[in-house]
Structure 1
């Protein structure tokens, strides 16, 4: 996209050498109080009978009353040592603020990894209550998901219900609750604008099957929930499109599917993220690929199988015919992955989440379509590297 830029939507201010350099002003505590703002455009009512997941359709008001108490304001203190212009080490300290939401009564909270990345101290705040310290249990820079833990003693925790993004459709109504520009527990409404988008994680790996929404998302919304019309969380608000602007909302926001976070919870709780890795880039097969006549309606088209990586060593092939898909230059003609260990793979997220549940050295049976023939290859997984290989323009899947 020309002159466009995706912004993580945490809110940052920095303290440099004793002087405060405000990158984005944190508007909070004006007049000694914090305010809750509810913005509900008339064009996005939540009374449609079509729901993103099974359950009773709720109004935005009902969703807010039920879910807002479980949304928290996160403050992360970040200290970094860098090289000054004179070659001397310089310590920089800053504050990042964002959002998160409670997922159980034991005090676990989901948020974005970029909200707490590099943090030396993290606190969370429920509305006007006193801030409490939180521990980072684990974070995954590849999917931009982090899990925090607070002491539940004395807290009236109201967990949000985790849904699924698998049955979400374009046009489904959604609400976002978070803390844009420090305005705690702000609600905005909108719809699912598109599906199967891809955004970059902190380490360059692509996050697949991301939900695009026009619900207003701004700096400070990072880590907050995207909620369907039944009140269930379907995504974690993460980035916004700015078209080269200053980082404000222009009606294009992106949420990491909650299914991705859910798949990582066991590892996040242990604090160690060790996931399997195939070494491919791929794309979910959808209607935009119909003209390729792949012979299947679902699965993952392999764009590239990186040389020397597990998939390539097992004989999985990437594309070799230049083409354009959604304005991007890609190579087509590669294998189509339809199953892994007998599990049907419909999307890139299905593949990513399953491979992420494996470890280095695990063997998986990958069913691929090559031309009109189906074959099964055995892939011995590697550990996912710390950063994505190369300067990639195509999404790195698992």
Structure 2
């Protein structure tokens, strides 16, 4: 019986079924999260603005119970951050070849993007997503944008092949033939470039728009221009196939999006317990910002993702999850994201009370890294200094809690102080500034360099309580900055390390 259950689960994850509702295709992959106590306060801080809403603030004449008030307020606060995600293969953009006609049509396509219209073409998949950063970053499922991602990657690889061919050919000619006149070399290079442009359909080295566009909308009727719903063009920043997540970035001017970009907060998925309440918000069958409720049916489930690997610690829930919910958030009763709806088990393709969500802790860790690297890449392209890089990883979430408890227990046995603060170092990159002898200096308190397992208890004279405080502190540091770190080992001995922060590797 167990073998059959695992086989069925794997089948549903690997081979999602496509559905259509009003000509909109969806997939039945989903995730879930669990809910906190029913008397909780719903709250977030969005760009410094407190949007906390208390259940007691609803009109008593409605006759709602405290639990109902909480759910109502969570929907009011959180649903504006949930988006509908769709990808479109434009009828104007050829995939395998690019012609002059195709280029002119693509320019028409760009004007549609600027007017926030959905271009004409074939839909390649739709689902849900949610805002996680005020600069326009959105998390969704990888399988929601998988066909768009793979199509665009194929075109980029095609372009790269011809570009590399032109460069390598030019280099070989230069190496094998000796021209005294530099103009001859330039002429040869020009002929090669024009030949490549003719083969690929490019003119003047201008890059054609990618064939598949990804778009999001913030509710069917919430944000419109007149009677027309606005769609915003997105870049697929990066994907994490192993977790079935993708990070998108809205390419609209941030000034126009300030009222829409309300980041959602994460809660702890590792602290969920069976029986806790959960809420799922998404766009099942294209019905914007639909909310459903349920429980944590089980934790620690392993399911097979689209990459063929086992996604561990998934949350099983009985929240109604249907095609179109994929990529939407699962929330606790604080309105915090504890998972991303990603798949279901169902004979009919619709909700049967068995849904799964990728754990929010894993999603946050991966998405934060993707977003940070993308921000640094954009700063570097703009010739601006980015965030400083230390090259040391610290324990977070459940690992940090486990290490802290273990150390406190050890200190009590040795009758030492049981106060344990700081961020636990779990690894140091081989190219970290900490590995450079020029960047490491120690005080007379102890000899030796930073070791894995040490704790960073101070940065630049500012006390560090935990990993979260360390990450927050480092976000304000820039590359090239000279910084002092106070390190404490398991014996309680402290030393000061001086380091010059490097440039984040991309």
Q: What TM-score results when the alignment is normalised by the length of structure 1?
A: 0.55
> Once the 2 structures are TM-superposed, how far is the Cα of residue 77 of structure 1 from its aligned partner?
2.8
Match of 1:122 among 206, 209, 214: 214
Aligned residues of 2:14 and 2:308 also touching (Cα < 8 A) = no
Aligned residues of 2:428 and 2:452 also touching (Cα < 8 A) = no
Match of 1:59 among 56, 70, 75: 70
The residue aligned with 1:172 is 276
Aligned residues of 2:344 and 2:356 also touching (Cα < 8 A) = yes
Take 1:358 and 1:93, find their aligned partners in 2: how far apart are those partners? Answer: 47
The residue aligned with 1:162 is 266
Aligned residues of 1:100 and 1:224 also touching (Cα < 8 A) = yes
Q: Does 1:258 align with 2:360?
A: yes
Give the 3-state SS of the residue equivalent to 2:256 in structure 1: coil
Aligned residues of 1:124 and 1:133 also touching (Cα < 8 A) = yes
The residue aligned with 1:247 is 349
RMSD: 4.3
Higher Rg of the two aligned structures: 2
Q: Does 1:184 align with 2:288?
A: yes
Q: Does 1:132 align with 2:201?
A: no
Name segments (4+ residues, structure 1) moved above 6 Å: 9-12, 44-47, 55-58, 79-82, 356-362
Unpaired stretches in structure 1, ≥5 consecutive residues: 13-22, 30-43, 83-91, 273-337, 347-353, 367-398
Match of 2:87 among 73, 76, 82: 76
The residue aligned with 2:370 is 268
The residue aligned with 1:100 is 129
User: Comparing both structures, which one devotes a greater share of its residues to helix?
Assistant: 2
CA 1:48–1:93: 2 relative to 1, 3 Å:
closer
Give the 3-state SS of the residue equivalent to 1:117 in structure 2: helix
Residues 353-398 of structure 1: CA deviation (Å, up to 9, x unaligned): x9x9988999x989xxxxxxxxxxxxxxxxxxxxxxxxxxxxxxxx
> Once the 2 structures are TM-superposed, how far is the Cα of residue 9 of structure 1 from its aligned partner?
11
Aligned residues of 1:9 and 1:218 also touching (Cα < 8 A) = no
Match of 2:247 among 144, 147, 150: 147
Give the 3-state SS of the residue equivalent to 1:142 in structure 2: helix
- Paired residues, what number? 258
Give the 3-state SS of the residue equivalent to 1:114 in structure 2: helix
> Once the 2 structures are TM-superposed, how far is the Cα of residue 189 of structure 1 from its aligned partner?
0.4
> Once the 2 structures are TM-superposed, how far is the Cα of residue 154 of structure 1 from its aligned partner?
1.4
Bigger relative contact order, structure 1 or 2 (CA pairs below 8 A, ≥6 apart):
2
Give the 3-state SS of the residue equivalent to 2:243 in structure 1: coil
CA 1:45–1:137: 2 relative to 1, 3 Å:
closer
Take 2:328 and 2:217, find their aligned partners in 1: how far apart are those partners? Answer: 13
Aligned residues of 2:279 and 2:332 also touching (Cα < 8 A) = yes
